[in-house]
Structure 1
Amino acid sequence: MPQSLISSSKRRMIVHLGVQKTGSTAIQRFLNQNAKTLADRVTVRTPVKGSSMPPLGRAALAYSLGAGGASHAAALSAAWRDVLDGLPANDLPVLLSHENLAGAMPGNGGETRLYPLLPEIASLLSDQTPEFDVHFVIYTREMSNWKPSVWAQAIRTDGYTGTEGEFLTEVADLPDWDDLRARMVATLGALRISFLRLEDETETDRPGRQLLKHVGFSDPEIDALTPMQGLPMQRLNTGSTEFLRQLNGLALNPHARSRVAGLVARSQELFTAATPSKGTL
């Protein structure tokens, strides 16, 4: 029986912490696409624009990059309470998903460690939620595939300027996922945290099967959900990534840089060695 299904008199809450580049965006898109079908079984919250979830993710990142501290803790607690206050007053389990709750990934703001403050973040959220039986879920990915993906994402979203080789050198001493697992268990206890492997998610059109099974859905129920078409936040091609890497070295306004990154993501054919096909310019 999944640890999250252990009986409790409290209302259940499953907090999917990500981490970044382990399929979180695809899972969230799949959950949102099937929101109406899921609504009578579970209350779902993802980083939908205009909701209380994006501020929560930003507060967790600030806490991580600021190495904790009372002011960052207070801001994170306030953002968390905003999310909790928006939950419906019923007995349905709650599924929250936000990869930035893990804190800064390597390459963001000079971070080179493996989520050093994630146990603190999870403990703070749990301590602020005594009315729920909170269980945390983290997806992992084979390190040899995860690190290059994190590098490309850091260039795309976090202004990282180093080459892939430079990044891999910076994170050469990064421990494996067992280190994070041990730190999470030491802080929360073994029954409060589950680690799932991205490699065990074998269906790209129904991502998050393992997570939904933790909530309590059966395989036939998951199979009945509307499959997802396409994958969001796929890695940019080599030319686009290199263009953004060099762009990151310029003193651009962050908003302007973000706008350019969006244009690059939508026009990747312009950054290939091949000549664009007729009608693409």
Structure 2
Amino acid sequence: MTDAAQSERGVITFHVGVPKTGTTSIQRHLAANAECLASELAVITPEPGKTLSRLAEHAARYSLRASTEAEQKLTGSIQALRQQVDAIPGPCLVSHETLLGASPGRAGETRLFPAAHKILSMIDAQFAPRPVCYVVFTREIETWKRSMHAQAVKTDQYTAPLADFLSETQAIIGWEDLRRRLRVALEDRVSFLNMEAALTDAAPSAALLHHIGVSDRTIAEMQPMSKRLKVRPVPAALEFLRHLNTVDLSPQQRQRIVDIVTQNQSLFSRAPAPSMAEL
């Protein structure tokens, strides 16, 4: 296929996070409405063990240690996604929250996605000459860092309390450095949307879809989300998980406990002491 034919097949949009900005809700809303969107847009969201999830993991590993081997694996996974996308005849939306690299709290990372511009430039190079644009969601930075601490405890076996995490990440004071690096690499093909202004519980993907040009009629026809996802574990449950991270468990054992805790958070809520009549 010629370069001109490739460029005429429709824009590929990468929704690249950041984590804890409603990405899971957006992806579930997109996946639930894939048929409704199909006339205007194909959607690729994460599935365990599939191409996009492997790409995200390789992006995280590359950002933590940019070795030749890590770069080769990342390049290979981008090429595999390119093959998947090329099988789609029209525009495509690819959504994954960790395509910018490892988040603060993972494996000692304390910076704000320092390899993000390199990773997206690699994606850009492998997808050329297809037209590609990128969308990043942001959030009030201090609230975001608190959510990232909870996420690091829950998924990355982070063991330190919130005060230590905030101290480790004190150099992260806003999004401007990330904006600057991505705009140098991608110019006007990267956009930033604000989570607080853009997301709604019933239609979390609506602002993203409107931004990339999906018609208002199609967006209005989408089924709403029926259940709001929890943002983070309650404090006592999070503290339990933080201490759990210091225990020598297999990944499978730990995940089972994490699932039990997150699904039964009422066990960690403070209940009023029973009255004498109730004893």
TM norm. shorter chain > 0.5: yes
Most deviating of 131-140 and 229-238: 229-238
- Cα gap change, 1:99/1:202 in structure 2, threshold over 3 Å: closer, same or farther? closer
Is 2:235 the counterpart of 1:241? no
Q: Give the aligned partner of residue 150 of structure 1.
A: 148
Preserved CA contact (<8 Å) 2:9 2:91: no
- Cα gap change, 1:183/1:87 in structure 2, threshold over 3 Å: closer, same or farther? closer
Is 2:211 the counterpart of 1:228? no
How does 1:93-132 map onto structure 2 within 5 Å?
93-132=91-130
Report Cα offsets for 1:106-160 as digits up to 9, x if no partner: 1111110000000000000100111310111100000121011111111011101
CA RMSD of aligned residues (A): 1.9
Structure 1: unaligned runs, 5 residues or longer: 1-7, 277-281
Preserved CA contact (<8 Å) 1:11 1:131: no
Q: Give the aligned partner of residue 23 of structure 2.
A: 24
How does 1:1-281 map onto structure 2 within 5 Å?
9=8, 11-66=10-65, 68-87=66-85, 89-189=87-187, 191-232=188-229, 234-274=231-271
- Cα gap change, 1:202/1:258 in structure 2, threshold over 3 Å: closer, same or farther? closer
Structure 1: distance between partners of 2:219 and 2:69: 41
Structure 2: distance between partners of 1:92 and 1:186: 28
- Cα gap change, 1:27/1:78 in structure 2, threshold over 3 Å: closer, same or farther? same
Query: 1:233 deviation in Å?
Result: 5.0
Structure 1 or 2, whichever has the larger Rg, is: 2
SS at match of 2:19: coil
Structure 2: distance between partners of 1:202 and 1:270: 30
Preserved CA contact (<8 Å) 1:18 1:98: yes
Structure 1: distance between partners of 2:88 and 2:13: 16
Report Cα offsets for 1:230-259 as digits up to 9, x if no partner: 123531111110000011112222232122
SS at match of 2:133: strand
Normalised by the size of structure 1, how large is the TM-score?
0.90
Structure 2: unaligned runs, 5 residues or longer: 1-6, 274-279
SS at match of 2:53: helix
Report Cα offsets for 1:178-227 as digits up to 9, x if no partner: 110001111222x1210110011252110122210133113343122100
Identity of counterpart residues, as a percentage? 38
Poorly superposed stretches of 4+, deviation over 4 Å: none
Letter in 2 for 1:52: T
Number of residues paired by the alignment? 268
Normalised by the size of structure 2, how large is the TM-score?
0.90
Query: 1:84 deviation in Å?
Result: 2.0
SS at match of 1:81: helix
